[in-house]
Amino acid sequence: MRMTDVPASSRPTLAAVIVAAGKGLRADQPLPKQFANWRGKPVLRHAADSLKAAGVSRLCVVIPEGAGDLVEEMLAGLEQVVLVTGGASRQDSVREGLEALEGASPDLVLIHDAARPDCPAEVVDRLVSALASSPAAIPVLPVVDSMIETDGTLLRAKADRDALRRVQTPQAFRFADILAAHRAWQGPSDAGDDAQVAQAAGLEVSLVDGDERLHKLTFAEDFRDNLGQGCTMIRVGTGYDVHRLAAGEELWLCGVLVEHDKGLSGHSDADVALHAVVDAVLGAAGEGDIGQHFPPSDPKWKGAPSSRFVEHAVSLAAAKGLTVGNVDLTLICEAPKIGPYRDRMKVQLAGLLGVHIDSVNIKATTTERLGFTGRKEGIAAQAVATLVANQ
Ligand code: MG
């Protein structure tokens, strides 16, 4: 039977401490990993939502100094949540969280890592069931790989895989017992986990089946698969550019010389189409804009073919492990007609981007003779580009 299926009046009250005070710097994320976005919302919010859905009433979240406003925003709308500033070690942080729950005196408490976003309700049910006959219960998984002992460099001995288990959180305890155990803890400040604190206090710790969905987000790769398992991370960028039409200039669009009575004037070869594409690629790569990389004030770029800008933007993306997915470009002008050049432009652009021609789309529109494009004073271009993370 599920916690959530038992009538509230006969259910033991279940609270949880979520430990979110760690810096989490390993994951190469701009925020500590427990606050980083993962599959559409902060990792911590996932963890809080899944515990609530599994039947936890009161939540105490232990946070780093100064993170109060940030976390309040992340957890907006959740009821019965208290925030506590963490201590110097995980151990201290958990004790602070338990102390903060003492007033509510829950029967049972889960102690959980914020970096485990998905907590299946079945695991919570198994833990709570185990607490009927044991003061402490933890989820564990078998070890699949063979295990060894080492001094860090050399193999010392084969370890007995059958005697080993991987330990996950949430770990579950009768509240009064674990609070007393933490208060009595005399060991090192990094006990590792709360099961060890419980065991040191003489509490028997039961094992229940863990779940691979409790995976702890640890490394940058864990965040790359940001859309869901088996999905590829896609980044989107947009670009927009305008250049003035002037007599006596050549008209380059997408690296193709177009016959017209006027050409585009400006920086480099003024290829407005490629400039929009460059900005879209830079945007998707998180690399600023074309002006930062190729400043108009730098004489080096005067008259330069814009193809070089595209190649540079693509190489910046590649350095981040990103390749172009597709580009959709719209040229906005009254004249010249784009149709006769469209296929050549697509070939040219696909070549510069290193993609199949099907991954490039070029559209053209007028503005019904309105505005500067309608008066044939200039040509505008806008582009959308996607970048795909290399697997
Ligand atoms: Mg430009």
pLDDT digits (tens, 9 = 90+) for 295-323: 888 888 777 899 999 999 999 999 888 99
Residue 366's closest CA among 338, 327, 328? 338
pLDDT in tens, 60-93: 999 998 889 889 999 999 999 999 999 888 899 9
**Residue 325 alpha carbon to ligand 1 centre in Å:** 23
> Which single residue is written with the structure tokens 């957890």?
75
**CA torsion 207→122→214→79, rounded to 10°?**
-120
Per-residue burial over 86-108, b = 16 or more CB atoms within 10 Å of its CB, e = otherwise: bbeebbbbbbbbbebbeeeebeb
**Residue 275 alpha carbon to ligand 1 centre in Å:** 5
Q: Could you tell me the pTM of the whole model? A: 0.60
**Residue 268 alpha carbon to ligand 1 centre in Å:** 8
**Residue 240 alpha carbon to ligand 1 centre in Å:** 9
- 4-18, 41-55, 312-326, 336-350: the lowest-pLDDT one: 4-18
> Strands 81-85 and 58-63: what pairing?
parallel
Predicted pLDDT at 221: 74
**Residue 315 alpha carbon to ligand 1 centre in Å:** 19
| Residues contacting residue 2 through CB under 8 Å, at least 6 positions apart | 55, 121, 125
> Strands 14-19 and 256-258: what pairing?
unpaired
146 phi-psi bin (left φ>0, alpha ψ -120 to 50, beta other): beta
Contact 175, 99 (CB under 8 A): no
**Residue 283 alpha carbon to ligand 1 centre in Å:** 15
Predicted pLDDT at 36: 83
Who wins on pLDDT, 39 or 148?
148
The per-residue DSSP string of 155-198 comes to EEEE--GGG-EEE-S-EEEEHHHHHHHHHH--S-S--SSHHHHH
Which domains, and CATH codes, for the chain?
3-224 (3.90.550.10), 234-389 (3.30.1330.50)
